[in-house]
Amino acid sequence: MSSSPTSTLVDVTMPQMGVSVAEGTVVAWRVETGDRIEADQTICEISSDKIDTEVPAPASGVVAEILVPVESTVEVGTVLARIATGDGGPVASPPQSLDGEPAGPTRTETPSPSPAPQAPSTARSGNGHRRYSPVVQRIAAEHGIDLAQVPGTGRGGRVRKQDVLAFVESAPVEEPPLHIESPYRPDPVSAPVVSGDGLSRMRRQIGEHMKRSLDTTATCTTWIEVDMSRVEAARKRLGVTGLAFVARAVIDAIREYPALNAWLDGSEYTRHTDVNLGIAVSLGEDGLIVPVIARAHELSVEGLAARIRDVAKRARARELTPDEVRGGTFTITNPGQYGSIMATPIINLPQVGILDFEAVVKRAVVLTDAGGNDSIAIRPMTILGLSWDHRALDGALSAQFLAAVKRNLERV
């Protein structure tokens, strides 16, 4: 959509988000071409390596052009969009034509060729000149509506209940992210339905591997609750993750119950002396990979933490070598950073066990002291889930193994 010769175009550029940041990615547009926008209102969300932020509109006006699509990464200073200030006539969408706002000279001055400085618009943008009734504010809050976008048909352009209800019905707003730092982003509206053919090669491989495991193994899952008080204290002291402690506790438990550190391939059962520990690493939408920390039993908690950090980083950078994802004898999966508390993991063939470590959650628990007296305390608790292959071992052994892991973690 082109701009009118009577209006001035203002560029919206990719801002510098940090000293060392040279580029940024457009995560979402909050406006569409033709939308009216007020100065300082968020026009889009952007993301750099680690930082997500919002780009405010540099001026009030109408969005004339959007130049950078969502998910595109561009250099700092690149023009993302242009805002036509002033009249805005050529791009005004039909709802705006009904808009008789009190301080808005935009309509009455339509025929005027004046470049319309920002002053009249900013008078409104301070939020002080447009008031909303309780019910209008409530409906807007419930539906996440920016009331500045709603044309008012009440006296003096006031936004009435029916206006905001009509806005809700006519223009369902795009679902916002749950939180600016949330990894969740709504699916693009025009996203095509993903067909079987649309799956990536990695996805297909994961699917085949998982299905083969379920078809082959006699999978059973056992859970145990663990008091993570000592781990929490120790990991803060050492500056490492809880996962490293769980890994060490698992290795020590494997020493007691080596039946878990084994392969069962068809009818061939092999116990291993070395613990080659697989750590599941999520690659986001692409899938999941399990790099293996060879001879993990030789590493301390700090050593494990460093290795886990290293393989996870290189896994996400797609820098793992084929050797690094082979030869695992036992696997740990740790999706708990999202708050989930239990899962039934699928055994990573030909291994016979996989341990699931989820979120650590504060809970009220009953403690019994040496004298047999009960009391209630707040403790950081987690639930460890062990999926094991009933062809290779039995439930009693898996429970004993979990109890050993629990004991190791509670004695840290």
Partner 1 sequence: MEWVLLWGGSLMPTLTYLQAISAALRDELRADERVLLMGEDIGVFGGAFKVTDGFVDEFGTERVMDTPLAESGIIGTAIGAAVVGMRPVCEMQFSDFISCGFDQLVNVAGKMHYRQGLAVPITVRLPSGGGFSGGPFHSQNPEAWFMHSPGIKVVAPSTAEDAKGLLHAAIHDPNPVCFMEHKHLYRRVKGEVPSGVFETPFTARVAQPGSDLVVIAYGAMVPVALEAVSDGLDGASVEVLDLRSLVPLDEEAILDSVERCSKVVIIDEANQMCAAGAQVAALIAEKGFESLDGPVVRVATPDVPIPFSPPLESAVLPGVDRVREACRELLAY
Q: Which is nearer to partner 1, 134 or 266 (CB)?
A: 134
Residue 162 CB, shortest distance to partner 1, in Å, is 7
Residue 158 CB, shortest distance to partner 1, in Å, is 7
Q: Are 108 and 48 in contact (CB under 8 A)?
A: no
Single out the residue of 155, 236, 237, 318 in contact with partner 1 (rule: CB under 8 A). Answer: 155
Residue 353 CB, shortest distance to partner 1, in Å, is 55
Q: Which is nearer to partner 1, 136 or 145 (CB)?
A: 136
3-class DSSP state of 380 = strand
Q: Are 65 and 98 in contact (CB under 8 A)?
A: no
Instruction: Measure CA of the first residue to CA of the last residue in the chain; give whole Å.
Output: 65
* Active site (annotated) includes residue 390: yes
For residues 263, 269, 271, 272, the Cα torsion angle rounded to the nearest 10 degrees is -50
Contacts of 41 (CB under 8 A, 6+ apart): 30, 56, 57, 125, 146, 148
Q: Which is nearer to partner 1, 53 or 133 (CB)?
A: 133
Task: Write the DSSP assignment of 277-337 as a string of letters.
Answer: EEE-EE-GGG-EE--EETTGGG--HHHHHHHHHHHHHHHHTT---GGGGS--SEEEE--GG
134 binds partner 1 (CB under 8 A): yes
Per CB under 8 A, the segment of 93-101, 115-123, 127-135, 327-335 that binds partner 1 is 127-135
Give the active site residue among 49, 274, 310, 390: 390
Burial class (CB in 10 A: 0-12, 13-18, 19+), 364: exposed
Contacts 24+ apart (CB under 8 A), 184-191: 185/27, 185/28, 188/70
Q: Which is nearer to partner 1, 138 or 204 (CB)?
A: 138
- Tell me the HSE value of 384 on the side-chain side, using a 13 A CA sphere: 31
33 binds partner 1 (CB under 8 A): no
Per CB under 8 A, the segment of 11-19, 99-107, 160-168, 257-265 that binds partner 1 is 160-168
3-class DSSP state of 400 = helix
Q: Which is nearer to partner 1, 165 or 220 (CB)?
A: 165
Single out the residue of 1, 135, 202, 283 in contact with partner 1 (rule: CB under 8 A). Answer: 135
* Active site (annotated) includes residue 179: no
Contacts of partner 1 in 162-201 (CB under 8 A): 162
3-class DSSP state of 152 = coil
Number of residues that bind partner 1 (CB under 8 A): 11
Per CB under 8 A, the segment of 42-50, 59-67, 80-88, 154-162 that binds partner 1 is 154-162
Residue 185 CB, shortest distance to partner 1, in Å, is 31
Active site residue ranges:
390, 394
Binding site for partner 1 (CB under 8 A): 133-136, 138, 154-155, 158, 160-162
